[in-house]
Structure 1
Amino acid sequence: MSKGELARQVHVQALRYGHRHINPNTTRVRRWLEGEQPREPVPRILADVFSERFGYRVTTFDLGLGGLPDLDRSLVYAASFGETVESVTELGRVDVDKDRRNLLAALPFIAVAGTGPSRDWLLQTLDQAPAPGPRVRLEDVTSVRNMFAKFQNMDVMRGGGAGGRELLTEYMNEHVYPLLRRTHGEDVRQALCAAAAEQTYLLGWMAYDDGEHGTAQRYLIQALRLAQESNDPALGAHVLAGMADQATLQGDPSEGRRLAQSGRLGLVNADSAACLADLWALEARALAALGDSAAAAHAVAQSEKAFERVRPDTEPEWAKFIDGAYLHGEYANAFRDLDQPDAATEHAQRSIDFARAQGRARRGAMSQAALAVSHLQRRDLEAAHAAGLRAIRLSGQVSSSRSLEAVQDVQRRMVPFGAHPLVADFNDRVRDLAAA
């Protein structure tokens, strides 16, 4: 590009993001080339201009205009679709870069970050079209959606840390995110945004299962924004379910409950009984953590009622994990947190039976852990030890920090039993699992 063309492109990109005052000339471009450091948001806009030009993500670091990418950018639910594309693309590029991935993994979960995105999604704010380029065909979108089932199954059966996330990140960076920068008919654009949202959500879920909560949160927020562009309320509600789950398990059940409620409200104009059952189950988890037993029991009942209406052949691919193994496992955890061991045992056992039939080690491990806790609540150490050992064995078959944390939760709850030989044996086995 000539200096004049680069100046023009910077101005065009700035207008897309609402920065009307940014209108450089050739003299300003020459000064940048000579080493002048432009002020934000110009470095970010320059990175986006070159990214569009080359068809892959270029960061301010690559241009010599910043030490590190702005990873907090992906916490923002952008008003501009174009900026959303750049945010999620930059996040994916850092995630796949071995030299910088550790920075991403160390990012903290921000408790209040979901408030704005869930509100904005619910209000269905309108937005700009993507940048021009070669048109995307419906066949391109179909090939992307066909890949989703393979990656989701990899996560369900092997865990988020088993290598599937790295493969999915590379696939998104090379094949999916570049499509978002190109032009589309409206029907193709919505289908493409839905496909990208599904897989961006899955990246977030895999990061969550691998214990990288700051990374997960950023992917989920960007998935929610892409879901809005797809005009698919059920998909957005599904993303909010993931955000609700994460908020509750990160110690903010009030936020988890609110996110789940936002998802349910968004389903008014959609029909996904599976998603509704999931949202009620996650609201029950949040209410149990808040100690509201009556409301939690009501939420479980509503979830079961919604699940009775599920017809698997009419549900989207992303809803296929919402089944008996998953839901009864969530109910078991809710009743465990309410110190109601009889109900927890019943649901944990049903989850275990479903998971065993499907060969789902991660869900089986977490439900065995819930069963072990319900035994501890009855002061039955021997039964708890047996269930805990089954949880350890299943956890060893997957790469999932959630299943390890479930086992470690059982370990912590055994502390009141002191130096009993079963406790000592369990501690030794948990140490071996954690080391492995």
Structure 2
Amino acid sequence: MIIANSRATSVAQSFPVLPAEFWQQLEIKHAAAMRDFGKLMKAFRELQNPPIKQAELAQALNITQGQVSRIESGRSAITDLTKLARWAIVIGVPFNLLWFDPPTHVTIPYTTDDDDVKIGSTTNEGDIVDRRQFLKAVTASPTLINSSDLPTTSHAVGVSDVARVHDWTENFRRMDNKWGGGHGINQAGYFLQNDVLPMLTESRMTNAVRKSLLVEAAQLFQLVGWMHYDTANQNAGRTALRNAFRLASDADDYALAAEMQAGLSHQASFLRIPDLAEDAASNAIHHARLSGLMSVRSEAAVMEANAFALQGDEKRTIRALATAEDFFCQIRSGDTPVWHRYYDQAYLNAKFGTVLRDLGDSERAEGYARASLNMTDGYERGRTFNLCLLAGVLADRGELEEALVHVNLAMQTATSIRSSRVREYLSDVGHRLARYANTPEVKEFYHNLSKKGIPTRRFA
């Protein structure tokens, strides 16, 4: 896998870790909106206290001070996405600020010299090519912890081993659904690295067992990816979902592969990157069609609708929502995989409400947002998301009193959930309540947000 060079990585560590508020400043957001990396570099330097000198930035990026000057002034246009992605990593630009999709071979720097290896590639004899090399590279990524050489299994892998992986993944999933915020991420990462990945390097298993193990490993990677997203580590989350997609593809599980692409689309929409969301949704639609599973096809369509809504394309948004609803109505009992049973009526209502809200249609969004609260037990974090969705829609409609009831209930629920996504949803409601900022009730809400560490000056 190609990564940022070691010189840039070591120098980058000398930069302070900047709080999220730094990247919300007007100069930063303006540069991102203008898609001008030079202006972004200049703002990054000058907004720090004390400001960073051009020479210091040049050293970190492994270029000359003159090049920094020309890039910042707009005299040198940089179109190499690999170079831009690596520079963004060095200075710590949050992924949601980037206006381009970093090339797949660029990720957060980590220690490995392995070239990119596609899991599942075969020789003429049909043997897996260097699976250990790929898996070793994976374990060195920020998706996992305690990177080290992979241990080897001491026995042939069988059905009981696959069942054990499944059971542990479900335990981690229940913990994550209830608590969020990366609870269990260290344990899940340790289990993935020290138990699951060594099994995947073992050649002593039947083809049926191997495919089952790939599917279970993909689901564990997926869960670890969502845990990373929930702790605001978008790059590691994205890497984990891509690894999950590769494993699912290697197992010829089109439905699971579609699910991973739908997850990538979901996160891109959450980060307000509609082009990337559309691309991932298109990939999800392709694999979902091959799978023939209506629940997965419905999810892929609703993810596409979200991307279209963020682009302001009402016609394509409504068409995609109609497609999602049509597929949902064709779901038959027993057809949905166990891992996709979360995709129920409440989940679909929440997505419809989100899409219509992003489209600016708060009137229609309200009904779906209300219906999304009819959830099954065990999804406390999801209930918090949906309460925030309804509160935001009601704020847009001028229903201040009821909006505050729901967002305050969400804040009570959030006391037991450590989740960066919950914080973002609460922050979004804060933005939507800004026109009422001088009312006593909203002032109290902002005070409570501040106590949770969510800056309220951004709502002024």
Q: Same fold (TM over 0.5)?
A: yes
CA separation of 1:149/1:72 partners in 2, compared to 1, >3 Å: closer, same or farther?
A: farther
User: Residue type matched to 2:144 in 1?
Assistant: D
1:434 aligned onto 2:453: yes
User: Residue type matched to 1:187 in 2?
Assistant: A
CA separation of 1:335/1:309 partners in 2, compared to 1, >3 Å: closer, same or farther?
A: same
For residue 235 of structure 1, report the CA deviation from its aligned partner: 0.8
Match of residue 95, structure 1, among 144, 161, 181 = 144
1:164 aligned onto 2:205: no
Match of residue 215, structure 1, among 232, 236, 246 = 236
Contact 1:339–1:377 (Cα < 8 Å) also in 2: no
In 2, Cα distance between the equivalents of 1:366 and 1:73?
40
In 2, Cα distance between the equivalents of 1:403 and 1:363?
9
Counterparts of 1:60-79 in structure 2, within 5 Å, are 69-70=110-111
Partner of 1:421 in structure 2?
A: 440
In 1, Cα distance between the equivalents of 2:338 and 2:115?
26
Q: What are the Cα deviations for residues 25-47 of structure 1, in whole angstroms up to 9, with x where unaligned? A: xxxxxxxxxxxxxxxxxxxxxxx
Contact 1:84–1:225 (Cα < 8 Å) also in 2: no
User: Residue type matched to 1:341 in 2?
Assistant: S
Partner of 1:365 in structure 2?
A: 384
1:251 aligned onto 2:272: yes
User: Residue type matched to 2:381 in 1?
Assistant: R
TM-score scaled to structure 1, two decimals?
Answer: 0.71
CA separation of 1:422/1:72 partners in 2, compared to 1, >3 Å: closer, same or farther?
A: farther
Match of residue 282, structure 2, among 238, 257, 261 = 261
CA separation of 1:157/1:201 partners in 2, compared to 1, >3 Å: closer, same or farther?
A: same
Greater share of helix: 1
User: Residue type matched to 1:149 in 2?
Assistant: E
Contact 2:257–2:284 (Cα < 8 Å) also in 1: yes
User: Residue type matched to 2:296 in 1?
Assistant: C
Contact 1:332–1:367 (Cα < 8 Å) also in 2: no
Counterparts of 1:32-431 in structure 2, within 5 Å, are 69-70=110-111, 81-91=131-141, 95-97=144-146, 134-161=155-182, 163-183=183-203, 184-311=205-332, 313-354=334-375, 357-431=376-450
CA separation of 1:75/1:350 partners in 2, compared to 1, >3 Å: closer, same or farther?
A: farther
Contact 1:365–1:394 (Cα < 8 Å) also in 2: yes
In 1, Cα distance between the equivalents of 2:453 and 2:432?
17
In 2, Cα distance between the equivalents of 1:255 and 1:154?
30
User: Residue type matched to 1:323 in 2?
Assistant: D
Q: What are the Cα deviations for residues 207-231 of structure 1, in whole angstroms up to 9, with x where unaligned? A: 1122110110111111111111111
For residue 303 of structure 1, report the CA deviation from its aligned partner: 1.5
Q: What are the Cα deviations for residues 149-170 of structure 1, in whole angstroms up to 9, with x where unaligned? A: 2222222222142x22222112
For residue 74 of structure 1, report the CA deviation from its aligned partner: 10
CA separation of 1:387/1:235 partners in 2, compared to 1, >3 Å: closer, same or farther?
A: same
Percent identity between the aligned chains?
Answer: 26
In 2, Cα distance between the equivalents of 1:418 and 1:429?
13
Gapped runs of 5+ residues in structure 2?
Answer: 2-108, 122-128, 455-460
Q: What are the Cα deviations for residues 253-275 of structure 1, in whole angstroms up to 9, with x where unaligned? A: 11211211111111233132222
Q: How many residues align?
A: 334
CA separation of 1:422/1:167 partners in 2, compared to 1, >3 Å: closer, same or farther?
A: same
Q: CA RMSD in A?
A: 2.6
In 1, Cα distance between the equivalents of 2:168 and 2:384?
27
Contact 1:77–1:222 (Cα < 8 Å) also in 2: no
Classify the secondary structure of the residue corresponding to 1:291: coil
CA separation of 1:150/1:320 partners in 2, compared to 1, >3 Å: closer, same or farther?
A: farther
Contact 1:344–1:370 (Cα < 8 Å) also in 2: no
For residue 359 of structure 1, report the CA deviation from its aligned partner: 4.8
In 1, Cα distance between the equivalents of 2:214 and 2:195?
13
Q: What are the Cα deviations for residues 289-316 of structure 1, in whole angstroms up to 9, with x where unaligned? A: 1111222122222222222233453322
Partner of 2:94 in structure 1?
A: none
Classify the secondary structure of the residue corresponding to 1:96: coil
With a CA cutoff of 8 Å and minimum separation of 6, indicate the structure with the bigger relative contact order. Answer: 1
Partner of 1:11 in structure 2?
A: none
In 2, Cα distance between the equivalents of 1:331 and 1:404?
21
User: Residue type matched to 2:192 in 1?
Assistant: M
Moved more, 204-213 or 360-369: 360-369
TM-score scaled to structure 2, two decimals?
Answer: 0.67
Partner of 1:9 in structure 2?
A: none
Classify the secondary structure of the residue corresponding to 1:364: helix
For residue 203 of structure 1, report the CA deviation from its aligned partner: 0.5
Q: What are the Cα deviations for residues 42-94 of structure 1, in whole angstroms up to 9, with x where unaligned? A: xxxxxxxxxxxxxxxxxxxxxxxxxx8337979985665443322222237x7
Contact 1:160–1:205 (Cα < 8 Å) also in 2: no
In 2, Cα distance between the equivalents of 1:320 and 1:288?
26
